[in-house]
Amino acid sequence: MTVFRGVDLSLRVFDIENGMMLIAPNEDMECDKLARHEEFLVARCGQGQAILVLKYTDGAEDLENVTFVEL
């Protein structure tokens, strides 16, 4: 899995082996930084005001919210 943030601030998740998009673009993501570890995606939002942890499961139609931490 590879994750990109589009120019329109949408979050896009692709299969790194075949280049296919895994889920529809998530247009609600306005995050400053993204990091991925295995199936987890960590996003820093609001210029460091919050951290959002998401999880991708094979075959899922969307990312699962794991936790949201306000800083």
Cα–Cα distance, 8 to 53 (Å, whole number): 21
Sheet holding 31-37, edge to edge: 31-37, 40-45, 50-55, 64-70
pLDDT in tens, 27-39: 766 778 888 898 8
pLDDT in tens, 4-28: 666 666 778 888 889 888 888 877 6
- 3-state secondary structure string across the chain: CEEEECCCCCEEEECCCCCCECCCCECCCCEEEEEEECCEEEEEECCCCEEEEEECCCCCCCCEEEEEEEC
Structural domain for 47, as ranges: 2-70
pTM, full prediction: 0.76
Domain count, the chain: 1
Q: Give me the CATH number covering residue 30.
A: 2.40.10
